[in-house]
Amino acid sequence: MADSAAGLTPRHLSVVKAAAIVACDADDGVTDKVVEDPRSCSFDPSTLQCNGSGAQDCLTARQVAAVRSLYVGVVNPRTGALLMPGPTPGGEPGWALFRPGVFPIGVSYFRDLVMRDASWNMASLDLDRDIARALAEDRAEITATKTNLSAFVARGGKLLLWHGWTDGMIPAKNTIEYYDRVLADSGREAARAIRLFMLPGVDHCSGGEGTYSVDVLQAIDAWVERGETPERIVARRPLQGGTRRTRPLCAYPQIARYQGTGSTDDERNFLCTIAR
């Protein structure tokens, strides 16, 4: 995004988002600008490539390659290892936060916490040496993705994770990978103590095309105080005319599937089911 030669502008990103939604919106059986599970979206940004010179409503070949690269994620060019999955289609306008310069939180994090060198800058980042150094640091502010939570589970802890599928800042697939690793590393009881909810069409923390208003605090209170394990949480979105849309959020890996009758703005007309 910081590559001036690529020149991806907020306008370009909005065009990419719109095209991705058109390509994949109906995959879940409901046309509502929301893709229930964008991992099934096969959108190809080359469909937006300009016939001639670059313009704001199409992409140059270099821009197509840049968008594809972002979807893939952070790859070590030497080993080909995927270090961080890329964002899913539908949240592209959020990428504008990474231009014209590199996102400042990332720079200060590496400079001050990992490298501890005031003269360090992002241009010198080494995906072998520096990532390994970050992972080797045994400090809470750096290693915040511990996967063995067996002690937490054993003392009765409950963990409710959620992530917006169209988060353009922190890739949603990273949270899924973390959840899977926690279940694998924390013992059999972890499956009863940890739940993940993916929010379709929801951006970073809120906003987006999906139902982004959700009371997760009420859900975890009921879990801890009354033993009501959250499997389905109702999310809301205001609509024009003072009405609202409600949709169920389903405990991962389930997704909400429209039953085929009734309003698609009413959560009661959706079932939680494993994605096909």
Cα 184-189-191 angle, rounded to 5 deg: 60
Classify residue 142: in a domain, yes or no: no
Neighbours of 260 (CB within 10 A): 9
Classify residue 253: in a domain, yes or no: yes
Specify whether 86 is located in the same domain as 114: no
- As a whole number of angstroms, the distance between CA 221 and CA 26 comes to 35
Classify residue 143: in a domain, yes or no: no
Q: Look up residue 110 and give its DSSP letter.
A: I
Specify whether 158 is located in the same domain as 243: yes
Classify residue 68: in a domain, yes or no: yes
Classify residue 1: in a domain, yes or no: no
What's the domain range around 90?
Answer: 10-101
- What's the CA dihedral at 256, 229, 190, 250 to 10 degrees? 10
- As a whole number of angstroms, the distance between CA 152 and CA 233 comes to 24
What does each of the 276 residues of the chain score in pLDDT, given as a tens digit?
888 889 999 999 999 999 999 999 999 999 999 999 999 999 999 999 998 655 678 999 999 999 999 999 999 988 999 999 999 999 999 999 988 878 888 889 889 988 999 999 888 888 888 888 887 876 766 667 889 999 999 999 999 999 999 999 999 999 999 999 999 999 999 999 999 999 999 999 999 999 999 999 999 999 999 999 999 999 999 999 999 999 999 999 999 999 999 999 999 999 999 976
Specify whether 164 is located in the same domain as 269: yes
Specify whether 157 is located in the same domain as 267: yes
Classify residue 3: in a domain, yes or no: no
Specify whether 44 is located in the same domain as 155: no
Classify residue 181: in a domain, yes or no: yes
- As a whole number of angstroms, the distance between CA 26 and CA 33 comes to 8
Please name every residue paired with 82 in a beta bridge, in sequence order, or none if there are none.
75
Specify whether 92 is located in the same domain as 157: no
Q: Spell out the SS3 assignment of 172-232.
A: HHHHHHHHHHHHHHCCCCHHHHEEEEEECCECCCCCECCCCECCHHHHHHHHHHHCCCCCE
Domain count within the chain: 3
Classify residue 5: in a domain, yes or no: no
Specify whether 23 is located in the same domain as 132: no
Per DSSP, the three-state class of 161 is: strand
Specify whether 67 is located in the same domain as 27: yes
